[in-house]
Amino acid sequence: MSKKEKLIKRLKSKPTDFTYDDAESLLLSLGFAKFKAGKTGGSRVKFMYSSTALMLHKPHPRNVLEPYQVNKIIKFLKRMELI
């Protein structure tokens, strides 16, 4: 099982310790491009796939995503038929 497959399986289980780094690694391995969300975007990050964007707020000071962010990623990837 590849790292990408492991991350997808882990994401689908809705873990409470899914990190931003895990999400970024998964999205980039699925073909997303990462962009800073504007000049004054702060910790907002945009992941583009074709012409569709997924906006995430990079958590701080901890690196763990909130449950709503994990759900948002799952719904987005299912809608795009990537998982």
Cβ within 8 Å of residue 13, ≥6 positions away: none
| Predicted TM-score of the model (pTM) | 0.87
* pLDDT at 21 (0 to 100): 94
Rg of the chain over Cα atoms, rounded to whole angstroms, equals 12
* pLDDT at 38 (0 to 100): 65
Residue 65 · residue 18 · CB < 8 Å: yes
* pLDDT at 68 (0 to 100): 94
Listing DSSP states for 2-52 in one string gives: -HHHHHHHHHHT--TT-BHHHHHHHHHHTT-EEEE-STT-TTEEEEEETTE
CA atoms within 13 A on the CB side of 27: 27
Closest by CA position to 7, among listed 79, 80, 81, 77: 77
pLDDT (tens, 9 = 90+) of the chain, 83 residues, equals 788 899 999 999 999 999 999 999 999 999 999 988 666 667 889 999 988 999 998 888 889 999 999 999 999 999 999 98
